[in-house]
Amino acid sequence: MEPAFHEEQRLTQWWIRLIAVLMAALGWWAFVAQIVIGEPWGTNPAPDWAIWLILVFIGLALPGLLLFAKLVVTVDKECVRIRWIPFARRTLPLADIESAETRTYRPLLEYGGWGVRFSFRHGTAWNASGDRGVQLVLTTGKRLLIGSQRPEELEAAIRGEE
C-alpha cells in the first residue's frame, strides 16, 4: 500500500556538523598522539584503554550518530509513523488525532532544539531541521509537533485529504 505521505529529513544545521567534525578530530587526535606516536596525550594522560574508548565513542560513534540520524515520517490510511533513526519511534493512530494544523515554530525557544524534544508548555516535538511543522492535538489533550519541510502536504495527509 502506497503511503499518503512520506518524508525523510536529516540534521542540516551547519553547527551540528561542525560539532561532529570537531568531536571526531579530538578523538582521532588523542588516539594518534598517544597510541600511534606514543606521546602521552595531555598533562595527566589517560591509560591507553581509555584512549581506545575515546576513539570509538567520540571519534566514531558520536559523529556517526549526528551525521547519519534521520527523521522519517509516514502517513497511511490508519496511522502516522514517526521514526528518529536510530533513537526512537512512535505510531499514532489517526483516530487518536483530534486536530492537525500547519504552523511556524521556534525550535530553540519552544523546544530547546531539534530531535525528540519535550516542553511542559508546548508538548513534544519530533523535528530535524527548519521551523515549520504540523501541530497535532491528540484526543488525550496532549500536543505533538512534527517538523516537516512539506507541512501542508503532511497536514493534508493526516486529515485524509488528497
Model pLDDT, residue 110: 94
pTM, entire model: 0.78
H-helix segments, 3-150: 14-31, 48-54, 62-68
Give percent above pLDDT 90 in the chain.
Answer: 56
Under the banding of pLDDT at 50, 70 and 90, the label for residue 135 is very high
Q: Which pairs from 56-65 meet CB under 8 Å and 24+ separation?
A: 57/27, 58/23, 58/24, 58/26, 58/27, 59/23, 59/24, 59/26, 59/27, 59/28, 59/30, 59/31, 60/24, 60/27, 62/20, 62/23, 62/24, 63/20, 63/21, 63/23, 63/24
Q: How many other CB atoms sit within 10 Å of the CB of residue 47?
A: 9
pLDDT band at residue 162 under the 50/70/90 scheme? low
**What CA dihedral angle connects 150, 140, 96 and 75, to 10 degrees?**
20
